[in-house]
Copies of this chain bind each other. A is one copy, B any other.
């Protein structure tokens, strides 16, 4: 019998308790012993709920309980999660978390503490919700040198963009609807500004390339400036617009970005819609591989957390190695990245001289009903060169084009 504690009885925490109870027999078979939730830390009480008898309000009750072998941290946020997790590891307990903010901020330090003590710090649920991605990256793609990771890693923004694309609705209307459906937070900033996806690609990149990416250093743009007009042009080009979080290795350097991109129908992430997540990986041996599923939600996320608990129980006294070190990774300069851009400019499509002066070539794309403007796709150029050229014309909006995959 392995006893565990759950820190936080919110959506994911109650999901973890539910999954361990619902699938008790099969989990016991897979872990090799029964797993039982002994304590749940929460500030609140839950009178009438069977969980009430397990509720504790003081983290030290859990830290000092020698029976508790694994601590599940599903509180969210960096503090007090970090302090609690550190204490738990130092007290000889393995930790599983769904908290990407914690992992992105302190992952390598917590991995190091776990490593020194032959414990485990696992965080499958921190990226891609239920989709197995951390463990495959860490344990399955070990024969490969990773060239690229590109993902749709945020379900909220993917829902918004999918809906805008399908219904022609405005960003504001769809955001409001997503909030009513519970797909978006009342304060949606972390999702819509790309911060959530940025932390997730920082985690995957650190795991894949072995040094710590500071998420603050990743160029990050959200979806708040994407309009219904942009989708009309995208449709004309046979593309969709997706918030991609991506990192790739080129000439020995890793480049990372989180931003909206246009993808055409041959892109492996083209069909990842609604709240689903998809992660595309290219390795130098395996080639292309893709993972796809529910990127969030109570039970899918709990599924990933509980799978980590099972793995911790199976690896008592043995650290499951990762190559993620505390060494800082110097990312390549985002301005050096080369790609094509879709640009919308003011003016008439019959007069391309300004666009051609600035970009060399510019075949116009027009959309019925949008007067006084047109669009065009630039040649492949660096972000730096793009910014310089764009300064010379009246740009309404510009969206990067991702055609670096499957080529």
Contact = CB atoms under 8 A, between A and B. Distances in A.
A311 B318 CA distance: 13
Nearest to A136: B132
Most chain B beta carbons < 10 A, residue from A143, A271, A300: A143
A19 B143 contact: yes
A306 interface: yes
A27 interface: yes
Interface stretch (A29-37, A158-166, A236-244, A395-403): A29-37
A29 B311 contact: no
Copies per assembly: 2
A354 interface: no
Interface stretch (A43-51, A174-182, A279-287, A364-372): A279-287
21 contacts: A23-B285, A30-B142, A130-B289, A136-B140, A139-B139, A142-B306, A142-B307, A143-B307, A283-B303, A285-B303, A285-B306, A286-B293, A286-B294, A286-B304, A287-B294, A287-B297, A287-B300, A288-B293, A288-B294, A290-B290, A291-B291
| Contact size range, A | 35 or more
Interface in A291-344: 291-294, 297, 299-300, 302-307, 309-311, 314, 318, 320-321, 323
Contacts of A292: 268, 289-292
Given A23-B284, A131-B289, A314-B320, 11 more contacts: A19-B285, A22-B285, A23-B144, A29-B323, A140-B304, A140-B307, A142-B310, A287-B300, A289-B292, A290-B292, A291-B292
A27 B145 CA distance: 9
Given A139-B307, A292-B268, A311-B139, A130 B287 contact: yes
